[in-house]
Every structure is written in C-alpha cells, then in structure tokens.
Amino acid sequence: MRLTILAVPPVLPLIHAELGLTATEIGLLASLPVALFALAALPGSLLVAKLGTRTTLIGGLALVALGSASRALSTNAAQLYATTILMGAGVAVLQPTLPAIVRQWLPQRIGFATAVYTNGLIMGEIVPVMLTLSVVLPLAGDWRRDLAAWSLPVALIALAVLLFAPRRQALSGEATAPSGRWWPDWKNPLIWRLALLFGCINSLYFGINAFLPDFLTATGAAALVGPSLTAFNFGQLPASLALLSLARSAERRAWPYLLATVLTVTSLAILVGLHGQWIVAATFMLGFAVGGSFVLGLTLPPLLSAADEVAMNSAAVFTVSYAGAVVVAIVSGAIWDLTGRPALVFLPMLLTALGLGAAALFLRRSGGLR
C-alpha cells in the first residue's frame, strides 16, 4: 500500500529531467495518490459490499501492481499521471478493505492485527527510500525499470492472498459474506468524530513531510533535511512495534492521543526554536507521536462499527480525513507565502495537534474511548 508510492521520490530528479516536468507538474504528481485516497475510498467500500473483502483485496493489489508497472511506459506527463491515478486508485480501494479484513480474520485481536499491518505500511514507506538509490536503481539501470521492479513485490503479495487467504466458508462469526451495504450514513456522528481524529493525524504526517525540507532549507539547515526526514519516518516504527505487545491495553483509550498531542506540540516548538541535532530529535519524536496515533486510530473503525459497516465507515473516514489533509497543506503553504515567515508554516499543524487531543476527548465523552 505504500511501497510503490514511496519508490517515486528517490528517482524524481531522473523523471523530472527525462520528461521535462515543471515544478508544478512534480507537485501534482506527488499529490495525486493522496487525492485518490479521498476520491476512491467510497468505491472501495462498494467493491467490498458487492465482491467481499478477499476479492477486493486481491483486485486492489493487482491494480496497484499494474498501475505501478505501467508507469515505466510513460513518455510524457499525461501518461505518467494516468498510470499514477490507476495505482493510487488501487491503494485507495485497499484502505477501507484492511479494517474489514481485520474484523473478519482476527475479531478477537483487532489491536494486534492492526499493529501488524500498520508496521507493514511504515516499512513500505522506509524500504524504498533506503534501497532505491543504493540497490534497486543500479541493478535496474534506469527509473522506468526501477518503478517496474517495485511493482513485483505487490504482485507477489496479490498471488499469496489468492492462494492462502482464508475463504468465506473457512471463516466463522458475523458478517463474513458481503452485505450489499456500502454507502455510509453521513448522519452518524461516529463517522465525523473519527474523521476529525484521522484528519488531524493525516494532516500532521503529510504536512511535515511536505514542508520540513523547505523549512530547513529556508532557515539555513539544509544539511539536516535527509537526517530529519529519516528520523521522522523511522520514529513511527518503534511506536508501531511497541503496540504489537501493548495494543490491547492501549486500544480504545484516550490517553495515547492526549500524549501524542503533548509530544507533537513540544516537538514543533523545538523544531522552530532550536537548532542542530535538536531538530533531528524533534522530528523523531514527531514520527513517534504520529505513528502511534495512526496505529491506534486504525483500530477504531473495526472496534466501534458493526461488522457490516466497517468498510463503509472506514471509507467515509478516509474520504473526509484525506481531503482535510490536502486543505491543511494548502493553508500551510498559503500562510508561508503571505507572511514570508517559514516557521508559520507549522501553525496549522500546531492547531491540528490540538485538534487531535480534542477529538480524543469528544470520542471519550461519546463512549468511543475510555
């Protein structure tokens, strides 16, 4: 779900040079997958309702592999956009499918199962950044074969699911068959409370990734761009790994989100107020807070929804929260442009960090959290 997306940034300079893309076109290419996360989540819910989770999972993985490999054939920006949209649609279809799969396959271990697949998400963000330039690109020879190579693991996972995933008749418990329901009940307050929580988490993740390099460059700390981005993404991993053993004690609790709010506000203050290795330490702490919140947040749709509503509620939450993340990123950039002060780019992220704590308190008041 992340492997083929994060395989692009290391080879962007090569794509930029060969296809003659402008900076605006590069920005559009980078934002397409996030936009698809919002636009294609509800169709993913429809596919789960009509085809079932197992078939949708296989189809989504196949779509990701096909779209990613097809990027190698692109000769201009339009073709690259089209194949990226195909790939992004596959990822977006998978997102509401995974919480439903967790509810069906491991209904008694939702927190643990969510931590397992979230570890996969995080590794899918780290591995291509680490290995593309040092291993895969030298072996592949050019960026086209490099992107095609990263689609191969996705195709193999699709084959593994086809061969080994439990079939409907092997599952026991509620709602193992498609129910036909897919359109969310937008009047359900649970959807909006979860969307607020997820929107804050997604806004922090994508906002920090988007603006941290330019902020450090503008403030004379360009040498820290690589270490800080690495620290931010690696910081998610210990939080996710810790939740493999602590998931049951932390799930449906408000305190982890409140702790994440405190850590995020503190880290942002260090990031804009101090220098040197303090910045790397702050970004690591940011990654830890965002990663832990992300894992626990993903447990909530299967924990709080009826079995036949998990996919549709997840799709609704992803639609609203990813759209919100795009808005927060645009507002952050506009504030920087209007004021000319780089540090103020993090003001919307500070507000979303406080919003994360508020969302947790709202959920606790409604009984969703304890």
Q: What is the pLDDT of residues 148-180, one digit of tens each?
A: 999 999 999 999 999 998 876 555 444 444 556
**pLDDT at residue 196, rounded to an integer:** 94
- Residues of the chain with pLDDT > 90: what percent? 32
Span 199-228, mean pLDDT? 84
**pLDDT at residue 176, rounded to an integer:** 47
> pLDDT higher for 94 or 40?
94
Long-range contacts of 339-346 (CB under 8 A, 24+ apart): 342/214, 342/215, 342/218, 342/219, 343/215, 343/219, 343/272, 345/211, 345/214, 345/215, 346/207, 346/211, 346/215, 346/268, 346/271, 346/272
**pLDDT at residue 12, rounded to an integer:** 76
- Please name which of 123, 124, 21 lies closest in space to residue 81, comparing C-alpha atoms: 21
Q: What is the pLDDT of residues 245-279, one digit of tens each?
A: 777 778 788 999 999 999 999 999 999 988 888 99
CATH of 3-166, one of 3.40.50.620, 3.40.640.10, 1.25.40.10, 1.20.1250.20: 1.20.1250.20
Q: What is the pLDDT of residues 277-295, one digit of tens each?
A: 899 999 999 999 998 898 8
Q: What is the pLDDT of residues 19-39, one digit of tens each?
A: 887 766 766 777 788 778 788
> Distance between the two ends of the chain, CA-based, in angstroms?
31
- Angstrom CA distances, 16 to 109, 146, 204, stand at 45, 15, 27
Q: What is residue 221's DSSP assignment?
A: -
**Domains of the chain: which residue ranges?**
3-166, 189-366
Q: Which residue has the tokens 């509503």?
A: 309
| pLDDT above 80 (res 9) | no
Q: Which fold has domain 189-366?
A: Growth Hormone; Chain: A; (1.20.1250)
Q: Which of 20-24, 204-208, 304-308 is predicted with the least confidence, judged by mean pLDDT?
A: 20-24
DSSP string, 22-69: -HHHHHHHHHHHHHHHHHSHHHHHHHHHHH-HHHHHHHHHHHHHHHHH
